[in-house]
Amino acid sequence: MEIWINPACSKCRSAISLLDAEGADYTVRRYLEDVPSEDEIRDVLDRLGLEPWDITRTQEADAKELGLKEWPRDDSSRTRWIKALAEHPKLIQRPIITADDGTAVVGRSEEAVRDALSR
């Protein structure tokens, strides 16, 4: 299992604490330093069963500067969104946990983290 985190994020720290308390075997990816490629983002989106706009932090300054709220949310715009996430990783919702069964969850709640642990 791998968890994408920003150490400054309280939700990320909570998820790590829960994983540690449960004795989970995982690796940490500080995705602001080890930025995921467009292909890695596509893979995680497939694992999540979500679209790029579903995991985009639209309130971030970068999102406002890019005007993301006005971007179309359709198949023809998917590549544009993924490119923006790869170029501005701060826009990626966190933490993202890739589960052992090939799926992933956005671990913003204790329930979501426990869901990843059960897979």
Q: Name the residues annotated as catalytic.
A: 9
- Three-state SS string over 55-92 comes to HECCCCHHHHHHCHHHCCCCHHHHHHHHHHHHHCHHHE
Write out the two tokens for 69. Answer: 């709220």
The residues that bridge with 5 in the sheet, in sequence order, are 30
Interstrand relation of 2-5 and 96-98 (parallel, antiparallel or unpaired): antiparallel
